Structure 1
């Protein structure tokens, strides 16, 4: 009887393995990438005590620890064991993110990850698997976009290390990144990626501004450059989001009988207009401030496709909503606002 039950269990597992092979294979490779990181980290204390590491690196590590303490003590983000170890990427990317979108609609390709929910992007530690997935999407007629991932959160399942690629960031950018990821570990709503990423961006920027004001003072160049970058990117956000609305309206005019050549011509004409008109945005940042965030710029040499705009909506569409809610309903009291969010949106 036991043998029969065992054979049934093995048979069911075999069927599930074949049926869900894509998830099993993807999960295995992601777990292998995560394990590689975990097995090759060093405690921060060892790095700080090692004379082989330059003082500039150690200063940035100390800054990260200070940002984390601020996020926990002042913003009341959940305590975390993250950022107490160091992982040297040796100049290589941490991982890549693949976004897919329908060709003539701003509708993302979605991926269901067990437990965590539905995502409009997919992360890869393995460059070959990334290329295969990108090629498969393009063969199906989707627009795609690949970008390097600077950091990610495991939502408290593992302790994230400080990554060597973080240390080249400016103080404001670094504070944003650390607070963004700690926000994910504090509140992450299943099946609502746009909400999660927009919230983490909002908290990251709010927290970074407060941290810089406290550490360097409101008259410091670091703080003023950070504020100028936020003003510039509010204009940039508005510009790109207006562009997505224009694209959405254009795609709504397409009929089933509209020739693909006509659709392509109108689509790329609209995208070129969005890119070209970005040059009119005024910018009060200093040279150092411009250099620190320039890679977000729309490129005339490599025109963005629908996947770029999908990615932008995922991270930036709801910024005004959070800001208005925070200021008008909670009088800019972040502690009350965070308590409200936790009570309203149960986290994983």
Structure 2
């Protein structure tokens, strides 16, 4: 009897592997990439006591520890074992994320994963595999975009390390990044990526401002530069979101009889106008942080496509919603707001 049961289980597993072979391959690749990183991390304490590492690097690591403590102690984000180890990327990218969208509709391709749900992007620790996936998506007619990722969250399943690429960031950018990722570990709703990313962006920016004000003061350069950066990106967000609405209206005006040539001409004409007019957005920072504004700004030589605009909507569309809800319904009381969010949107 036991032998029959065992053979039955093996048979079911074989069927599942064959049926979901691509997903099994992807899961293996992701697991291998995560384990490779975790295997090669060093405890933060070892890095701080190692004379080989420069003081400038150690100061940034100490700053990350302060930011994490602030996020847990003052913002009341969940306790986390993340950012207690260090991984040296040796100047190399660590993860690539691809997004895809329909060519004449603002509809993102979705990927479905067990447990964690549906995502409009897919990450790869191996560039060749990312490139191969992009080639396949292009053959299917999708607009695609590939971006290097500077950080990610395992949502509390693993303890995420400090990556060496973090340490080139300005104080405000670093605070926003760490608080953003810790927010994912505190509240992450299955099958609602847009909500999750917009919420983490909102909390990351709000938390960064509070941290900078507490540590440096509101008249200090780190606070003023971060505030100016936020003001710039709010103008930039508004510009891109207006452009996205223009694109959406254009696509909805297409008729079944509209030729591909006409669609392409009008599409790229509209996108080019969005890009060119972005030059009117002013930047009033007294000094540019290390991660330049050009990292996000539209590129005239390499026009973005629908995948860019859909990715942008995923991260920035609901910013005003969170800000208004926080200020009007909760009077700027972050503890009450976070409690409300946790009770209203249970995390998986």
Instruction: Give the alignment's TM-score, normalised by structure 1.
Output: 0.98
Equivalent in the alignment of 2:125: 125
Q: How far did 1:281 drift?
A: 1.2
Deviations 1:106-143 (A, max 9, x none): 10010001100100000000111101100000000000
Equivalent in the alignment of 2:77: 77
Equivalent in the alignment of 1:346: 346
Paired residue total: 348
| Counterparts in 2 of 1:297 and 1:290: CA distance versus 1, 3 Å | farther
| Counterparts in 2 of 1:128 and 1:290: CA distance versus 1, 3 Å | closer
Q: Gaps (5+ residues) in structure 2? A: none
Equivalent in the alignment of 1:96: 96
| Counterparts in 2 of 1:61 and 1:291: CA distance versus 1, 3 Å | closer
Q: How far did 1:222 drift?
A: 1.3
Q: Secondary structure at the match of 2:288?
A: helix
Q: Does 1:111 align with 2:114?
A: no
Equivalent in the alignment of 2:311: 311
Deviations 1:30-62 (A, max 9, x none): 000000011111000000000000000000000
CA distance in 2, matches of 1:39, 1:266: 50
Q: Secondary structure at the match of 1:112?
A: strand
Q: Gaps (5+ residues) in structure 1? A: none
Contact 2:169 2:291 (8 Å CA) reproduced? no
Superposition RMSD in Å: 1.0
CA distance in 2, matches of 1:4, 1:179: 51
Contact 1:42 1:86 (8 Å CA) reproduced? yes
Equivalent in the alignment of 2:244: 244
Equivalent in the alignment of 1:5: 5
Contact 1:100 1:145 (8 Å CA) reproduced? yes
Equivalent in the alignment of 1:154: 154
CA distance in 1, matches of 2:157, 2:291: 35
CA distance in 2, matches of 1:12, 1:161: 37
Instruction: Give the alignment's TM-score, normalised by structure 2.
Output: 0.98
Equivalent in the alignment of 2:169: 169
Contact 1:229 1:290 (8 Å CA) reproduced? no
CA distance in 1, matches of 2:234, 2:290: 14
Q: How far did 1:289 drift?
A: 4.0
